[in-house]
Chain A
Amino acid sequence: MEHSVISASNFNAWFGDNHAVKDVSIKIEKNQVIAVMGPSGCGKTTFLRCINRMHELVPGARTEGTLKLYTDDIYTMNPIYVRYKIGMVFQRPNPFPNLSIYDNVVAGYKLNGLKIPKAEMDHIVEKSLTSAALWNEVKDSLHKKGTFLSGGQQQRLCIARAIAMEPEVILFDEPTSALDPISTSSIEALFHELKANYTLIIVTHNMQQAARVSDKTAFFYLGELVEFDNTRQMFTAPKDKRTQNYITGRFS
Chain B
Amino acid sequence: MTPLENELSALKKELISMWILVQSQLNKAKEAMVQFDKDLAREVLVKEKRVNSFELKIDRDCENIFALHCPVAVDLRFLLAALKINTNLERIGDIAAGIALYVVESAVNFDVKALESTSILRMYDEAVNILIDTRAAFEKEDTVLARSIFKRDDVLDAINMNAPEVIGELIKADMNNLPEALYMLSIIRKLERVGDQSKNIAEEIIFYVEAKILKHFESGKRRVAGEE
Contact = CB atoms under 8 A, between A and B. Distances in A.
B4 A237 contact: no
B76 interface: yes
Interface stretch (B46-54, B65-73, B94-102): B65-73
**Chain A contact residues, majority secondary structure:** helix
Contact of B5 (A238, A244, A250): A250
Interface string A47-87: 00000000000000000000000000000000000000000
Interface in A218-249: 235-238, 243-244, 247-249
Contacts of A237: 73, 77, 211
B74 interface: yes
Given A248-B4, A249-B2, A249-B4, A235 B74 contact: no
Nearest to A233: B211
A171 B190 CA distance: 60
B77 A248 contact: no
Contacts of B2: 249-250
Contacts of B74: 244, 248
A136 interface: no
Contacts of A249: 2, 4
Nearest to B211: A237
Contacts of B61: none
A236 B211 contact: yes
A211 interface: yes
A208 interface: yes
A207 interface: yes
Contacts of A238: 73
A247 B73 CA distance: 8
A236 B72 contact: yes
Given A236-B77, A236-B211, A207 B72 contact: yes
Interface string B148-180: 000000000000000000000000000000000
B5 A236 contact: no
A97 to B, nearest CB: 37
A103 B145 CA distance: 68
Nearest to B8: A248
A149 to B, nearest CB: 31
A236 B76 contact: yes
B73 A208 contact: no
A235 B70 CA distance: 11
A248 B211 contact: no
Contacts of B211: 236-237
Given A235-B76, A236-B76, A236-B211, A248 B70 contact: no
Nearest to B75: A248
Interface of A: 207-208, 211, 235-238, 243-244, 247-250
6 contacts: A211-B72, A236-B211, A237-B73, A244-B74, A248-B71, A248-B72
Given A235-B73, A250-B5, 12 more contacts: A208-B70, A211-B72, A235-B72, A235-B76, A236-B73, A236-B76, A237-B211, A244-B73, A247-B72, A248-B71, A248-B73, A249-B4
Ranked 3 nearest A-B pairs via Cβ? A237-B211, A235-B72, A244-B73
